[in-house]
Amino acid sequence: MANVVDDALRTQVRNIEAQYGRSMGAWTDLIRSRGLTKHTEIIAWLKSEHGMTHGNANRVALIARESLGDVSAGSGASADGSAAVGGAVAGHPSTTDDPAAALYTGSRAGLRPIHEAVIAVIDGFGGDYDVAPKKGYVSLRRRKQFAMLQPASMRVDLGLILPGMPTGGRLEPGGTFNAMFSHRVRLDSVEAIDAELEGWLKTAFDAAG
């Protein structure tokens, strides 16, 4: 699944470059020239000035900040941003402006790739959405909330809002987990993010748009 996620990110990078008319290297240079350094301010600028969706702006910000040396993970980016794609899965902004960073510290740091892989899938849907920090988890919202990610000791719990969808197998009822979500899926590895899970995510994402 890790290779699938990397392929999806490379496809997203190519689509961003084609849609907005600049290579990742050019976006990085532009961000540098504007003096933007914080993840959140780069996203806000890309959305307001260049009309990017949140998912695309988030990906450009991750790659640009990694290339500029502001993200600890990864080994830097090439001029077209391709070298940053793999790093952008594991790389993430600092705890000062990353809504999820505080959740993945200490013994839970190893769960961060699961979180990032879910975000990569959602980014691939192409629509705008927001990530809002809550106590112990992050909420994912469009017009309405559609999902959440919450690390546990050995897994990441994905809460979904899927009204009317039956439970069964790993698609558990969400009532005892969090009353705001109809379903829960326990993710203990990146490999758990398969086509079935992507389908559930896409259904929740579309219903909230």
DSSP letters spanning 111-174: GHHHHHHHHHHHHTT-S--EEEEETTEEEEESSSEEEEEEE-SSSEEEEE--TTPPPBTTBEE-
* pLDDT score, position 82: 44
Are residues 131 and 192 both part of a single domain? yes
Instruction: Give domain status of residue 95, yes or no.
Output: no
**Is residue 58 pLDDT above 90, yes or no?**
no
| Per-residue pLDDT band at 162 (split at 50, 70, 90) | very high
- Quick one: CA dihedral 45, 48, 49, 55, positive or negative? positive
Report d(CA 17, CA 27) in Å as an integer. 9
| Domain termination residue (choose one: 60, 90, 120) | 90
Mean pLDDT of the region 36-63 = 87
Q: How many domains does the chain have?
A: 2
Q: Which residue has the higher pLDDT, 136 or 56?
A: 136
**Is residue 1 pLDDT above 50, yes or no?**
no
Are residues 199 and 137 both part of a single domain? yes
Are residues 137 and 169 both part of a single domain? yes
**Backbone φ and ψ of 13, nearest 5°:** -60, -45
Are residues 142 and 170 both part of a single domain? yes
- Written as six digits, the tokens of 81 are 């941003």
**Is residue 98 pLDDT above 80, yes or no?**
no
| Per-residue pLDDT band at 83 (split at 50, 70, 90) | very low
Are residues 112 and 76 both part of a single domain? no
* pLDDT score, position 70: 59
Instruction: Give domain status of residue 9, yes or no.
Output: yes
pTM of the full predicted structure? 0.65
Instruction: Give domain status of residue 107, yes or no.
Output: yes
* pLDDT score, position 97: 57
Q: What is the pLDDT of residues 110-161, one digit of tens each?
A: 998 899 889 888 888 878 888 888 889 999 999 999 999 999 999 999 999 9
Q: Count other Cβ atoms within 10 Å, centred on residue 207.
A: 17
- Structural domain boundaries, residue 116: 101-207
Closest CA to 149 of 110, 111, 198: 111
Task: Specify which residues 63 forms β-bridges with.
Answer: none
| Domain termination residue (choose one: 90, 125, 152) | 90
Are residues 44 and 139 both part of a single domain? no
Are residues 44 and 105 both part of a single domain? no
Closest CA to 141 of 151, 149, 97: 149
Are residues 81 and 134 both part of a single domain? no
Instruction: Give domain status of residue 52, yes or no.
Output: yes
| Domain termination residue (choose one: 42, 58, 90) | 90
Closest CA to 24 of 97, 89, 84: 84
Are residues 129 and 69 both part of a single domain? no
